[in-house]
Structure formats: structure tokens, C-alpha cells
Amino acid sequence: MDQLWFITHIRLTDRRKLMEHGDRAQPGETTTDLGEAVRTARDRARLSQRVLAARSGVSLRTLREIERGRVRVPRARSMERLAATLQAPGLLDHGAPRTGGTPGSGGADDRFLLRVLGPLGAVRAGIPLNAGTPMQQNLLGLLALHANQSVTHAEIVETLWGEHPPGSFNQLIHTYVSRLRALLAKHQDTPTGSPRIERRHQGYELRVETAQLDLLQFAELAAEAEAVRAAGDPEHEARLLADALGMWSGPVLGGCSARLREHPRAIALAQRQVTAALRFAQLAEISGDHERAVDQLRPLVRRHPLHEGLHARLMLALAEGGRRVEALDLFGRIDRTLRGQFGIEPGPELRAAQLAVLRGSA
């Protein structure tokens, strides 16, 4: 009996692995063409495995197995998501024949993800979901900013309507919550029962796993980078920061109401991005990878046109990459802005960066 159970268990385990990854290569057999194709496309897109997995909805384990050449014929849906995320349609030539599967039909890469590090969005297996009306989306965004913490009824009213809520605000909140619950119920992870919205302490709480919310993934990676920094491993720290920054696709909760985008938690989250980007740029410049520093800093400079620290660090990265004219042009723009709009001169950090560029020491 024990022997029969063991054989059955092994067969079921192999079957689950096959369902998750596709047709696996046999021992000693590799599929380097596929693995190299995915890895090359990912390197071209400058995405880590973790970030590509999060954006595409393909599990990190599946992606690693594919890149290591351990999957002979991957699932068609996995390759479709990878090809769409990497903008590499040629990857579809390696996929298994389409089976007509739909999101929610199972599989390790059939995942729900809520995004707030950029435009608010909910996706399942890489396919966008309808999060409802703008007000309903604002409530979802607010709950996501407080993930796994209660949001009071008063804060919900203030964020959604400000000082002049409609007389029916109680009923409206109840309606929004009911609709969001219905949406999330369709995409719950069975073992954890997440995501879901619970009534807590005269308010509401979004219960969500780290893998289901980009904000939590970013926070986890940033915290891990801080721990690695304390341990004195700059290369590992840079990789973690690159993964953390790769979770962002724009300003926090882009497209939502101004009250939500200016919420203290949204502002603090944006500042954490700036802090992470400045540290990453510092590490990238030390290692001589100036272009990666420029790529991270340039969009943040546009988003924070008066942040002198970002401008100074971008100037140094440009100059160290041989683009001194661009660096000085950047200084000239913020200098004119500060003097023309606020009647102030650039601070010492900007001045030091300008001097380093002029002297050629950057």
C-alpha cells in the first residue's frame, strides 16, 4: 500500500508540474533556444525576472524554468503574456498550441495583481479588469494605499468628496464596497481568501497578499535592499533596487482624483521612489553604469521639476556618461525656473554638481 501511494504521489506531482510549466525537458535535455530568446528579450527590455513575472502574470518559478531551458513546450498563455510584456512577438513561435483557456481557469501564472505604482489598474493573468466607476476606483486606490490596515469611514468620505459630500454618501460607500467585493471575489486565491474587503473598526480594510499588490512588492524589495546595504553588498543592493524601481510605471495612482493622488500616503510613497532612485543612481555610477542611472532619473526629474537632488544626480550621471552639454543644459533649465518663478538661486547640491561638470571631474 505504501509503495502504491508513493508511485501515485509521484505521478500526481509530475502532472501538477506539467500543468504549471508545460512540457518539461527530459533529464539531460535542454531547450536553450527558447530560454535564450526569453532572456535576450528580457535583457533588451531591461527587466529583471521578478519584474517581468509581476508585469506579465507569469509566475517567477515558471519564468526561471523557461530561461534555464527546462521547459520544452511552454503553455501558450504563458508565452502570450511574456511576448506582450516584452513586445517580442517572435516568442510565440515557441508556445504550445492554444487551448482556448481563459483567466481564472487555473495555473500558477493565472494571478490577480492590483497596481497603484502608476495608473490604477487591476489585472488577472496580465489581462486588465474593469474596476468600475471613477469613484469606485478612487475607493479601491485608497484601500490599497492602506493595504491590510483599516481605513476609517471619515477618511473615506474626506478622500472621495472633500468637505461637501452628498447627502447619500453612506449609501454610495456601501454600494462601492459591495461592487468591489464582487469584483475581488471572482479573483480570490483559494488558500488565503485574498484579495477581499473586510469591515474593520468602523471602516474597511483591503486584505491582500504581497504578490497581489505592486505597492507591497516594492516595499518588500526596498526593505530588502536596505538590509543588504547594511550588510555591505552593493551589487546585490543595486539589483534589488532595480527590481523595486521596475515596479513603477508612472506617478502614484495616476488618473485618480487629485485628493487621492495628494493623500499623505501617496506622497510618502512617491518620496520612497525618489530615495530608491537616488541610491540606485549612486550605485550605478560607482559601477560605471551611467546609462541605467540616467534611465531611472530622467522620468523622475520630469515628475519632480523642482527637486534639486534629482537634478544634481542626473547631471552627474549625464556628465560621467560623456554628455556634459546635456548636463549643463539641465542645470540651466532648473536655474531659470528657480530664479524666474521663485526668485531663488540653486542650492549647494546643484552648484556642486555644476562645478563638477564644468571641471570635468564628474
State the pLDDT at residue 237.
94
pLDDT mean over 325-330: 96
State the pLDDT at residue 222.
95
The count of C-alpha atoms lying within 13 angstroms of the C-alpha of 236, restricted to the half-sphere facing its C-beta, is 11
State the pLDDT at residue 17.
40
Listed ranges 17-31, 75-89, 105-119; the one with the highest mean pLDDT: 75-89
Interval 49-94: pLDDT, tens: 888 887 877 777 788 888 888 776 677 767 887 888 888 888 877 6
**Cα–Cα distance measured from residue 12 to residue 8, given in angstroms and rounded to the nearest whole number:** 6
- Per-residue pLDDT at 160 exceeds 60: yes
Question: What are the E-state strand segments in 58-155?
Answer: 71-74, 112-115, 121-124, 127-129, 150-152
Sequence-distant (≥ 6) Cβ neighbours of residue 202 within 8 angstroms: 152, 153
Interval 211-224: pLDDT, tens: 999 999 999 999 99
Enumerate helices (H) and strands (E) in the chain, giving the number of each: 16, 8
DSSP states along 255-266: TS-HHHHTSHHH
**More reliable by pLDDT, 287 or 314:** 314
State the pLDDT at residue 8.
36
- The candidate with the shortest Cα–Cα distance to 239, out of 278, 295, 300, 283, is 283
- The candidate with the shortest Cα–Cα distance to 143, out of 192, 189, 203, is 203
Q: What is the pTM of this model?
A: 0.72
State the pLDDT at residue 55.
80
**Cα–Cα distance measured from residue 337 to residue 160, given in angstroms and rounded to the nearest whole number:** 34
**Cα–Cα distance measured from residue 318 to residue 9, given in angstroms and rounded to the nearest whole number:** 58
To the nearest whole number, what is the mean pLDDT of the chain?
Answer: 85
Give kind and range of the element (H or E) at residue 316: helix 308-320
**More reliable by pLDDT, 271 or 35:** 271
**Cα–Cα distance measured from residue 11 to residue 28, given in angstroms and rounded to the nearest whole number:** 20
Cα→Cα distances 108→10, 17, 45, 216, Å:
19, 10, 24, 20
Sequence-distant (≥ 6) Cβ neighbours of residue 262 within 8 angstroms: none
**Cα–Cα distance measured from residue 202 to residue 143, given in angstroms and rounded to the nearest whole number:** 14
**Cα–Cα distance measured from residue 313 to residue 306, given in angstroms and rounded to the nearest whole number:** 13
State the pLDDT at residue 12.
37
**More reliable by pLDDT, 14 or 73:** 73
> Given phi > 0 = left and psi -120 to 50 = alpha, else beta, which region is 63?
alpha
**Cα–Cα distance measured from residue 301 to residue 269, given in angstroms and rounded to the nearest whole number:** 16
